[in-house]
Structure 1
Amino acid sequence: MTTTPTPPAPQPAAAPPPEALDAPDAQAAQAVQLQRLGLADPFRWLALGLRDVRAAPGIAVFYGLLFWGMAVVLGWVFRTRPEYSMSLACGCLLLGPFLAMGLYDTSRRRQAGLAPQLSESLTCWDRHLGSMAMLVLVLVVLELLWGRASLVVFAVFFHTGMPSTTGVLQATFNPQNGAFVAVYVAVGGVFAALVFSTTVVSIPMILDRDTDALTAGITSLRVVAGNTGVMLLWGALIAALVAVSLWFGGAPLLLAGPLLGHASWHAYRASVTPLPPAAE
């Protein structure tokens, strides 16, 4: 009598290693679905960001010192070459999100149940170099256009040459120069809105899903377009915290910088539907 051999029992799937965070399924990474946001969400992101700061204080201090250094340089340029202040401010807006990428990685690892490490946060970008380089190129173009537009505004309103620091302050608070202030703020606002709309979720999305820069940038614009009121509030909170920090010499950025970096990760996670769990 012939017996049919019994097939071997299937072995249980092994748990994914920590490196699986950096290798999401390519097909799932393209299935980007957005979530609706509420006006209370930005405050919740700040609360979650503060929790991440407390959980990894050493990493927060390291990046806080970098943000403070940016503020010191910005203040020095404003005192010595005020016509380049707007251009440098745009450069800070460009560099800030990339410094914050290490903070995004720290928050991501905490959400995955992994211990955050400074060494990992410093090298998290190298696995996404292609997408990051393309996004850098787009933002550099915006930064150059912003700087050129800023110089043009100064040249139009100050025919005798660029004003000193005192001249800039007098021009800003002089009621007779209302047209200059309005144009300067309008030009800066347009470029700031473009930078913010392009990067509000794109950089954490590249880190999380290893998607391309075009998909990440379009997703970021979609988030802003679909939740305009919430994103305006979020942008206003960011601007307010940065402005207050700069008003007090930049030292508050030791806390505000890491806080906003961690909170921006949670803004991304709230805006974009998370990837489904990997199939067993």
Structure 2
Amino acid sequence: MKDSPIQLDQQVAVPEVRRIGMDRPMVWLRSGWRDMRANPIASVAYGLLFAIAGDFILIFAWRTPYLFTAAVSGFFLIAPLLAGGLYEISRRQSEGQHSTFFDSLACWGRNGESMAMFGLLMAVATFMWERISSVFFALIIPDLAPDLWAFVPNVLLNREYRGLALTWFFIGATLALLVFSVSAVSIPMLIDRRVTAITAMITSLRAVALNIVPMLLWAALVVMLTLAGFATLLFGLIVFMPLLGHASWHAYRDLVK
């Protein structure tokens, strides 16, 4: 079933979005796996880049809890943009074309201004979360030993800080849900169509709003696989991030007419 289009003005029309079933996120993952198997070298190259980015997060932010949490959260915020090449690989695969890593870079030559605008908005969201985390840590734990091993038992599991910790999690979850809603299909759409960043974000919001439960399941799968990648000392990211990138392309094609 399709939702009717919305005409914003004479120049901009938001594309139609479809209703989907609860089974679709798993279908996207299976389709993403097929794309990855069809283009293994280019896909794994992106996986290695994501793993290297994760290594930098661990190396430079491990001993500073607020920077670590902000950096990991920021990883989720900018990952859709960094996965642009994976969307291009899947786009080419849907047209029967195999891709090299260099072929995938062509996505940045199309609609570059709108993609840059979207990237700027994601950078602002990342900066806002870093500042929120900084204030949170400065207020409640100014004298805590600056490492995660002290932070988890002394703050997150400490009843004295439970209220503040829950507030922090609530703010972070709200921001994450908002960012997910505006980015779920935005970058694939910007690569596939000549639309503005605002049009892509509105389309993404409508797609999520029309499919709340399936999209929450999709968001949970994205978070779980990404965290599993970090939990396996980044090795899992080599596979999980390309898989999610390719699957996100299929999510876009499924949701947007």
TM more than 0.5: yes
Deviation at 1:210, TM superposition (A): 1.9
Task: Give the structure 1 partner of residue 4 of structure 2.
Answer: none
Cα distance change, pair 136–264 in 1 and its aligned pair in 2 (3 A): same
Select the residue among 147, 168, 182 that pairs with 1:184.
Answer: 168
Alignment correspondent of 2:134: 151
2:70 maps to a residue whose letter is: S
Letter paired with 1:187: I
| Counterpart among 95, 99, 107 of residue 124 in structure 1 | 107
The answer for the alignment partner of 1:71 in structure 2 is 54
Matched, 1:44 2:1: no
Q: Relative to structure 1, is the Cα distance of residues 216 and 107 closer, same or farther in structure 2, using a 3 angstrom cutoff?
A: same
Query: How far apart are the structure 2 equivalents of 1:154 and 1:104?
Result: 37
Equivalent position of 1:256 in the other structure: 240
Query: CA offset at residue 184 of structure 1?
Result: 2.2
Query: How far did 1:129 drift?
Result: 1.1
Shift of 1:79: 2.0
**Correspondence 1:224 to 2:208:** yes
Which structure has the greater CA radius of gyration? 1
**Alignment deviations for residues 117-172 of structure 1 (CA, whole Å, 9 cap, x no partner):** 32121231122111011111211211111111111111221143674333212222
Q: TM-score, normalised by structure 1?
A: 0.83
Shift, 1:174, TM fit: 2.9
**Structure 2 residue 186 is the aligned partner of structure 1 residue 202:** yes
Q: Deviations over 1:201-258 (max 9, x none)?
A: 0100000112110100110111111111111000000111111111121111110010
Is the Cα–Cα contact under 8 Å of residues 129 and 172 in structure 2 kept in the other structure?
A: yes
Q: How does 1:240-279 map to 2 (within 5 A)?
A: 240-273=224-257
Aligned to 2:223: 239
Is 2:188 aligned against 1:167? no
Q: What is residue 107 of structure 1 aligned with on the other side?
A: 90
- Identity %, equivalent residues: 38
One-letter code aligned to 1:211: V
1:89 counterpart residue number: 72
Give structure 2 stretches of 5+ with no counterpart: 1-9
- Do 1:153 and 1:183's aligned partners in 2 also have CA atoms closer than 8 Å? no
Q: Distance in 2 between matches of 1:79 and 1:205?
A: 35
CA RMSD of aligned residues (A): 1.9
Q: Normalising by structure 2, report the TM-score.
A: 0.90
Query: Which residue does the alignment assign to 2:198?
Result: 214
- Corresponding residue pairs, total: 247
Gaps of 5+ in 1: 1-26, 274-280
